[in-house]
Amino acid sequence: MMAVIYGALASSACIDCLASALMGGDSNSKSHGDRIMALKVSKVDVWAADIEDKAGSVASKLDALADAGVNLQFAIARRTPEKPGHGVVFVTPVKGAKRIKAAREAGFSKTDSLHSVCVEGSDKLGRVSVLTKRCADAGINLRGVSAAALGRKCVIHLAFDTADDATNAMSKLRKK
């Protein structure tokens, strides 16, 4: 079963409660820190493309990537409230000259303003809460959070405004 939360400022408590409920856990537990195990923490380049807010727009963009052999690990799309009738799709990773060329031809570009860190590990109650608190305690502002749990594993993408914030967050996110 999978739980996915989208939003620029998604509540980590909501993500934790939803993921825990879907996994059959106790969403009322307050002791999260002692449940964190080794994590894989890595920077990821995020690619984005503008889309029309209509049926098939996301599929068209993703088809172009699939046709070029891009094996996506993460994709998220949303409307852009500041530009009615339009949206944006974000993907990662896009690697290799042929795949990068195809992504550019499909309207994707590597973002310079969005810096993302991917955290992978076992799915544990409170995981997102602990990680977002580590960033907060270090004075690092989060631009966005997306998280998913599948079986006993989870993946969390944390977005930052600057490359320095992403780099600084990585050391905080790795600590046990």
Instruction: Give 79-129 pLDDT, tens digit per residue.
Output: 999 999 999 999 999 999 999 999 999 999 999 999 999 999 999 999 999
Strands, DSSP E only, in the chain? 2-5, 40-44, 47-52, 74-79, 86-92, 109-110, 115-122, 144-150, 153-160
With a CB cutoff of 8 Å and minimum separation 6, the contacts of 111 are: 45, 46, 47, 48, 90
Q: Which amino acid is at 4?
A: V
Domains of the chain by residue range: 2-43+113-174, 47-110
Fold designation for 2-43+113-174? Alpha-Beta Plaits (3.30.70)
Residue whose C-alpha is closest to residue 115's, from 170, 70, 154: 170
Helix axes 12-22, 127-137, angle to 10 degrees: 160
What strands lie across the sheet with 74-79, from one edge to the other?
74-79, 86-92, 47-52, 109-110
Residue whose C-alpha is closest to residue 141's, from 9, 13, 16, 40: 9
pLDDT in tens, 31-74: 444 344 589 999 999 999 999 999 999 999 999 999 999 999 99
Architecture of domain 47-110: 2-Layer Sandwich (3.30)
